[in-house]
Every structure is written in C-alpha cells, then in structure tokens.
Structure 1
Amino acid sequence: MRSILYLFAVILIIGWLIGVFAYSVSGIIHVLLVLAIISLLLGLIRRS
C-alpha cells in the first residue's frame, strides 16, 4: 500500500510541474501539489 501512495504522489508532483512549466495558472495545479504532499505525509505517518 505504501508504494501505491508514493507512486500516486510522484505522478501528482510530475503533473504539477508540467502545469507550472506550461504556464497554467489554474487552481487545479495547486490542488495536485497539495494532494501529493498529503499522500507523502500519510505514507510517512503509516510507516512509523
């Protein structure tokens, strides 16, 4: 389950980076970043 969370987080971060570099000013790009950070934090919390 942990690897799925990390994979999800990486995909969301890559999507966010593509959106930022494509000059998309949409709020959805920032939601992707927040979801990726939450996913990473959940993975770290569940691991300990």
Structure 2
Amino acid sequence: MSTIIIDDIAYGLTALSGAAKPQLANVQAADAEIQRLQAQLAIAPPARGR
C-alpha cells in the first residue's frame, strides 16, 4: 500500500477521502512544477554567461 506523510504522520492513500485525493494530485503537480522551475533557474545564469 502506498503512503503519504503529512506532518510526520503516514496515511495510506486508500484511506484518503474523495475530496483529499484531488488535493493531493494538485500538491504533487505543484511540487513537480516547482522542481521544473528550479531546474530552469539553475540552467539560466550559466547560459547567460554569469
């Protein structure tokens, strides 16, 4: 069973409510976008010659 940890408490994904599941998907999408943007920021200064 897959779990997610929130405030140091592990929750089984199957135990999440119907309302919590889309919220989790939104948080995961936001986290992925943050990682993508951080990678872009790491590339940008060297590419500009700084």
| TM, length-normalised to structure 1 | 0.47
Query: Which protein is bigger by CA-based radius of gyration?
Result: 2
Structure with more strand by fraction: 2
